[in-house]
Structure 1
């Protein structure tokens, strides 16, 4: 056996005063380095603060935004000088944008203030001018949907315009669609296949025009959701070749199952039977996308103020969509007065009172009874309250 002998390593202790000397030497040697680093950080921080302050001031003074909104937007975009944003705002003002339009656009897309005027923005505005969209129409479109200016002119804006042109008849309708249609950035992927599918089951061109003009978002849904909704609407008894089919499709796609059940409960609470509901929905599918508050307010007026039966509303469900202040109450004031004064000799339905145009209503009710009731126009306009005549709802 061998016996191993190992010497323990000998460590030399360094006295405390030596450590202090070493530390002091390190600090002295690197003081200039630390000073330079901290100085750089301070300069960067100062520059950022200066840039932030300038941006906030610009948003407030040049774009008409509130200090709160300006501060929030400055986190998304910042600039040191006004050269670029001034040139962008100058271009917009030259093309008919008011200060309100500019505020609206900048609030939604502040990064457009850093856009390249000559190379990017101007060609897009020139295209809109070339197809007859300019002035207030152009300002309304781009302030409502400024994302259009972020799209490619050749790949998206031009093809999308001619796509819409093939579906709706005029630029006025295209403007209305473009103000809301943020989906129009991937037409070939979503919209075109959905239109082909709907055409395949018999949906007419006029129905497409209505759909694009009123609810363009339906066409950008996934093909799976569209197919499922189409099947459901057909099972409800709607014919794809009718305009009611498109309205029912919009209603079904806009609602979850829970929302659907909630609306059914509301209508039942006002006395609608199952038959009443289907009668109303098949003639006016939009009744299912009205808000609960809207339904309750109108039902309360018709049933509790006018004394009409729930089934009468089900036969004229469009009555739920009219403005209470502008159409329903003024016309019902006239109708109630004439009825209680026994001036209307024949039975008149709710639809007769509410569905006619303003001119037809004026001819049939206001003008016809003007001689017998000189104050009838004042009653219609609310200048004479029925309570003053001893009549109430």
Structure 2
């Protein structure tokens, strides 16, 4: 069947998959799927307290990681001292890996630092070099897909390495053909090859190759799942395609139908559910408890059934996201119940925002910028904007202009005018209109860039 799928993909219809709108019930193709769970890498988990600071500090001082990245990695891996990781770094450098390569490897595969350099890692590097891998080839391939170093068997390691090498080389030459005799290889390689032939890029393809989940394992389940995802019009070059493939592969027909029935009982149709699936495939993982909890949360916020279902259809990603009492959070900040209802009607996604985030952004708008609470009601999208990249930088420019008297008022401009517009329009409104004053423009640009950098 896989060859038929690939052959059909090259036909006129599948070449235009992005325009497909088949009126198809995805359940009719379902076979007996079984849930596949990702195997946990035990080496990345450690309950000892006090280790995160040690790991984080080591990554900052030894590899030049940012504190934020180092802290993120330290949650996935731990070690008592720097002896073992230092041996790993020394080994990698002896094989020609530069710090940029090592940073990429550790970011994608922190568990490498816990491997025994002499008994576990070096034999694999020696094996790959013995097969003729040059230093430049070895560093490039392992920097892109470091998790192939988890593979224990030489034959499998060799097969995966060659596959990655062929794809990288063919991409460089704009040649999408892979010359390996893949039809005789394991199903996983064969399935990855099928995704490759559909145009899936490296950044999506390689994680699937080394994933311990079952999405690209087997034969029948993969082929049926791939067929359904293509027929629903998902773009193979996007992460949403991978999410949809994973969802349909891992859930049985019975489980899928049970999920659909939950939404039907709330008032949605089967067609509505699959349209939601196209927008946000992972919403299918929500339990009935989480689905009904979100429905009840919207109801407490003042939305009627029709408005709640409309929010579900437009923003399926908000389903199951609420873990706190959203109404109490907004009421505690001074909003009335009617204003809370307006906010949630205009921005259903705020059901997924943490109480801390809502409080921090609302207090900044009111206390730092002197905008009224009504400004948040009128433009609730401010709660979804990045403080570091948009809100704070732009507000600092506004405050500088107000201090110098260039806005002609002691009041800041409308929050939508300052924060909702594009970067280009903001510059035109508040910076470039002062082009005749080069010193002022330089100061404003410095404030804008300085804020973003911080």
TM-score of the superposed pair, with normalisation by structure 1: 0.60
1:102 and 2:167 aligned: no
Aligned-partner Cα distance in 1 for 2:312–2:364? 30
**Mapped contact 2:361–2:383 kept (Cα < 8 A):** yes
Q: Aligned pair 1:70/2:139, yes or no?
A: no
Give the equivalent residue in structure 2 for 1:203. Answer: 272
For 1:114 and 1:309, how far apart are their aligned partners in 2? 66
The two structures, once aligned, show a CA RMSD in angstroms of 4.8
Q: Deviation string for 1:133-188 (max 9, x for gaps)? A: 14333124545x542466213312x3333333344542233x34526975443345
Q: Is the 8 A contact 2:324 2:355 kept in 1?
A: no
SS in 2 for 1:304: helix
Contact 2:199–2:237, Cα closer than 8 Å, also in 1 = no
**Distance 1:312-1:371 versus aligned 2 partners, 3 A rule:** same
Q: Secondary structure at the match of 1:254?
A: coil
Establish whether residue 251 from structure 1 lines up as the match of residue 318 from structure 2.
yes
Q: Which residue of 1 aligns with 2:385?
A: 322
Q: Does 1:221 align with 2:290?
A: no
State the Cα deviation string for residues 266-309 of structure 1 (Å, max 9, x = none): 33332222222221112112223223332233223212211122
Contact 1:97 1:135 in 2 (8 A): no
Q: Greater Rg, structure 1 or structure 2?
A: 1
CA deviations on 1:184-212 (whole Å, 9 max, x unpaired) are: 43345334664585661773876443222
Report what 1:127 is aligned to.
Answer: 194
Match of 2:76 in 1: none
Higher relative CO (Cα under 8 Å, sequence separation at least 6) belongs to 2
Residue 430 of structure 2, aligned match among 360, 365, 370: 365
- Contact 1:316 1:350 survives alignment (8 Å): yes
User: How many angstroms apart in 2 are the aligned matches of 1:150 and 1:162?
Assistant: 13
Equivalent residues of 1:276, 1:314 under 8 A apart: yes
| Structure 1 pair 226–101 and aligned structure 2 pair: CA distance change class (3 A) | same
Distance 1:169 1:234 in 2: 30
1:276–1:328 distance in 2 versus 1, CA, 3 Å: same
Counterparts of 1:251-290 in structure 2, within 5 Å, are 251-255=318-322, 259-261=323-325, 263-290=326-353
Contact 1:142 1:149 in 2 (8 A): no
Q: Compared with structure 1, are the counterparts of its residues 380 and 320 closer, same or farther at alpha carbon in structure 2 (3 Å cutoff)? A: farther
Unaligned runs of 5+ in 1: 1-55, 387-393
Aligned to 1:379: 444
CA distance in 2, matches of 1:127, 1:207: 26
Give distance in 1, aligned partners of 2:278 and 2:194. Answer: 23
Task: Choose from 186, 189, 194 the match for 2:250.
Answer: 186
Deviation at 1:337, TM superposition (A): 3.2
Contact 1:370–1:376, Cα closer than 8 Å, also in 2: yes
For 1:90 and 1:193, locate their aligned partners in 2 and report how far apart those are by CA, in whole Å.
53
C-alpha distance after superposition, 1:71-109 (max 9, x if no partner): 6xx9xxx99x869x969x999x99x98424433x459x7
Change (3 A) 1:375 1:331: same
Aligned length: 311
Among residues 334, 343, 353, which one is paired with 2:418 in the alignment?
353
Alpha-carbon contact 1:312-1:350 (below 8 Å) kept: yes
Q: Of the candidates 222, 233, 236, which is equivalent to residue 171 of structure 1?
A: 236
Structure 2: tracts of 5 or more residues without a match: 1-86, 96-104, 160-184
In the alignment, is residue 139 of structure 1 matched against residue 139 of structure 2? no
Match of 1:298 in 2: 361
For 2:317 and 2:226, locate their aligned partners in 1 and report how far apart those are by CA, in whole Å. Answer: 23
